[in-house]
Structure 1
Amino acid sequence: MKKAIATQAAPAAIGPYSQAIEANGTLFISGQIPLDPATGEFSADDIKGQTRQVFRNIGAILKEAGLGFEHVVQATVYLADIADFAAMNEVYAEFFAAPYPARAAFQVAALPKNAKVEIGVTAVRA
């Protein structure tokens, strides 16, 4: 009924969770932080660079599942500082076209490894 999706082109899970789970044609991608899978380190210090890396990670997981950004129906964005919303949103818009996924965005007290952004998405096979 459910199938784990994993790729070495995105950071490995660092706990008891999967990079993604597919169930009944719906793909649930765990929140991604801006780790470069090759180095295990942040690829950038600024919000735009970190957001791009998050989407590279999400894109790699989508690709492993045979999907793309056009299949994403929902996104949840966690920001360490809501003041970064506009800059994150600029990069976000580079990866999606209308009709855009439903989305929620929140400022949180802290993110793993002191990341500036974490994003999780849900995608559906059409």
Structure 2
Amino acid sequence: MAEHQHITAPDGVAPGNGFSHVVIGTGTLVAVSGQIAVDAQGELVGRDDPEAQARQVFANLQRCLEAAGASFADVVKLTFYVTDVAHLPAVRAARDAYVDTARPPASSAVQVAGLIRPELLVEVDALAVLRA
């Protein structure tokens, strides 16, 4: 498990809600491509359901991290892409089931006009650092 330094509120910066503004780590970088709400067979999970899609996305992220020998404890940055910011509470709830909410990764959220498939509502990518 990586030991990262989390700075939730640098001097002069308001604390974030559920994320660290800065995470410092030393080691091997693991980049996980944006994960979408499809199962192992490539079938959509949760049509019109941002909660189901977010849960599938984070399950996929966990599988990808494990393939690299990493876990969510190693994640230093998450980027959320949503087709509607109203989906962010569902994404955050799914995230909170996987990350240490006392030491959350740095995060960004972006509302996009669309994702690679029109039925997708959420995509999340991750950066992790494995301890050297």
TM-score by length of 2: 0.74
Aligned residues: 102
Q: Which structure has the larger Rg over C-alpha atoms?
A: 2
5 Å-filtered alignment, 1:37-56, equals 37-38=40-41, 40-45=42-47, 46-56=49-59
Specify every segment of 5 or more residues in structure 2 that has no aligned partner in the other structure, as ranges.
1-26
- Residue 81 of structure 1 and its aligned partner are, at CA, apart by 0.7
Runs of at least 4 residues off by over 4 Å: none
Deviation track 1:7-48 (CA, whole Å, cap 9, x = no partner) reads xxxxxxxxxxxxxxxxx610011111111112x111212111
Letter in 1 for 2:52: G
State how far apart, in whole Å, the 2-side matches of 1:54 and 1:36 are: 9
Equivalent position of 2:130 in the other structure: 125
Counterpart of 1:101 (choices 100, 105, 122) is 105
State how far apart, in whole Å, the 2-side matches of 1:85 and 1:95 are: 16
- Residue 99 of structure 1 and its aligned partner are, at CA, apart by 0.8
Q: Which has the higher helix share?
A: 1
Deviation track 1:45-72 (CA, whole Å, cap 9, x = no partner) reads 2111101111111111111111111000
Deviation track 1:63-121 (CA, whole Å, cap 9, x = no partner) reads 11111110000000000111111122111111100210000001100011121000000
Specify every segment of 5 or more residues in structure 1 that has no aligned partner in the other structure, as ranges.
1-23
State how far apart, in whole Å, the 2-side matches of 1:44 and 1:86 are: 16
RMSD: 1.1
User: What percentage of aligned pairs have identical amino acids?
Assistant: 36
The structure showing larger relative contact order (alpha-carbon pairs under 8 Å, at least 6 residues apart) is 2
State how far apart, in whole Å, the 1-side matches of 2:88 and 2:114 are: 15
Letter in 1 for 2:72: F
